[in-house]
Structure 1
Amino acid sequence: MSESDTRIKAYFSEPKPWQEELAALRAILRDTPLTEEFKWRSPCYTFGKANVVTLWRLKNCCALAFFKGVLLKDQEGILIAPGENSQSMRKVEFSNIADIAGLQTILKEYIGEAIEVEKAGLKVEFRKDAPELPEELIDRLDEDAEFRTAFEALTPGRQRGYVLHFSQARQAATRISRIEKCAPRILEGKGLHDR
């Protein structure tokens, strides 16, 4: 466990929503062979070099999210996709300590299964159906060879994230604005949520 990482200390000690619930989830995770790290502004628990689970502080709840949750059996039916386009990750949401205490044994079983998934080297089969590119993005790709090269060099997941972000805007002007705001990140080879 990474006791010396000040970001982890701050995450669990700053007075923010869901502190008690996140501390309870952390206690469960610290009783596993996972290593505690800090990634994407949250505690992340790894096995070897693989991300296994992460903790999220959300607006209406907190969550324990499994990176390859779709591969878990989920016999209790507690896992949900974080979003409609989530292909791999699955989460369990909590809004009180009692729910965490009631699921503690099951959560440990799910975490153990997630570790076994990593030990076995299992991979998630991602859909190959790429979302349709918005017209404004096609225009930008056609007009700017450097931008096209950078966009095509992104991983498929990063490309998909940008396309979904751009496509969700209803008006063309908003789509163009989003593309312009994201262009520097794309040129740096970063995904929408990368730091």
Structure 2
Amino acid sequence: MATKVWDKQNDQWTEEIDFLQSIVAKTELIETTKWGGIVYTYNGKNVLGIGGFKSYVGLWFFNGVFLKDEAKVLVNAQEGVTKALRQWRFDSKDTIDEKLVLHYIAEAIQIEKDGKSYKPEKKEVIVSSFFQNFLKENSSISEAFNLFSPYKQKEFIEYIDIAKQEKTKLDRLEKIKPIILEGKGLNDKYR
């Protein structure tokens, strides 16, 4: 039953992955493959995933930050980096408590049904005085620039601000003027 995913790490966890998949199959979640791994969804939203690693097989909850974790089994894989995802690690099939796993999955599904999801903090785009002056002097470019998403605005700002010499900045400004006026993002040709 184990889906062949990721790499040979899963070969050592075939029995555990099969068992976890059989537990999840008792729920209303839909199995799919994303990023080369086993992922379960509810209404198209990622709820949990399963995968084998070097020293453990993991069950992770995409919105695990909202789980009560009464049994204290969840870990944040990268403290300070990972915000919402939480892992539950097992080192053998014997350590997988089916009833407890089903309890956590039911809670994760309810979280999804309730529409809870972690929204990352948006970082404020800091516009240099050099770029602000450029926009003030060119109202049509400023208007077109303000129509871009913050992400695309940030691409333009960084493109200008990483240049060290003013001559390079001015050359780059000349290059991006027509791109901004056309309503195209700086890196749209690569997307």
Q: Shared fold (TM-score greater than 0.5)?
A: yes
1:115-163: per-residue Cα shift (whole Å, max 9, x none)? Answer: 0011111121434458xxxxxx9997335769x834xx9xxxxxxxxxx
Give TM-score scaled by structure 2 length: 0.62
The SS at the match of 1:51 is strand
Deviation at 1:59, TM superposition (A): 1.4
Asked if structure 2 preserves the Cα contact closer than 8 Å seen for 1:57 and 1:63, the reply is yes
Note if 1:105 corresponds to 2:80.
Answer: no
Note if 1:121 corresponds to 2:121.
Answer: no
Specify the code of the residue in structure 2 equivalent to 1:107: V
Asked if structure 2 preserves the Cα contact closer than 8 Å seen for 1:18 and 1:95, the reply is no
Asked if structure 2 preserves the Cα contact closer than 8 Å seen for 1:33 and 1:47, the reply is yes
**Could you tell me how far apart the structure 2 residues matched to 1:140 and 1:61 are?**
41
The residue number in structure 1 matching 2:22 is: 27
Deviation at 1:53, TM superposition (A): 0.3
**Percent of matched pairs sharing the same residue:** 27
Note if 1:94 corresponds to 2:90.
Answer: yes
Task: Identify unmatched segments of 5+ residues in structure 1.
Answer: 131-136, 154-183, 189-195
Deviation at 1:74, TM superposition (A): 0.7
Worse-superposed segment, 70-79 or 137-146: 137-146
Deviation at 1:11, TM superposition (A): 3.9
Deviation at 1:17, TM superposition (A): 1.7
Asked if structure 2 preserves the Cα contact closer than 8 Å seen for 1:21 and 1:96, the reply is yes
Give me the CA root mean square deviation: 3.3
**Could you tell me how far apart the structure 1 residues matched to 2:60 and 2:102 are?**
13
Note if 1:149 corresponds to 2:149.
Answer: no
How many residues are matched? 141
Give TM-score scaled by structure 1 length: 0.61
- Structure 1 outlier segments of 4+, above 4 Å: 137-140, 143-146
Task: Identify unmatched segments of 5+ residues in structure 2.
Answer: 125-154, 164-171, 180-184
The SS at the match of 2:186 is helix
What is the correspondence of 1:14-53 to structure 2 with a 5 Å cutoff? 16-53=11-48
Please say which structure displays the higher CA radius of gyration.
2
The residue number in structure 1 matching 2:55 is: 60
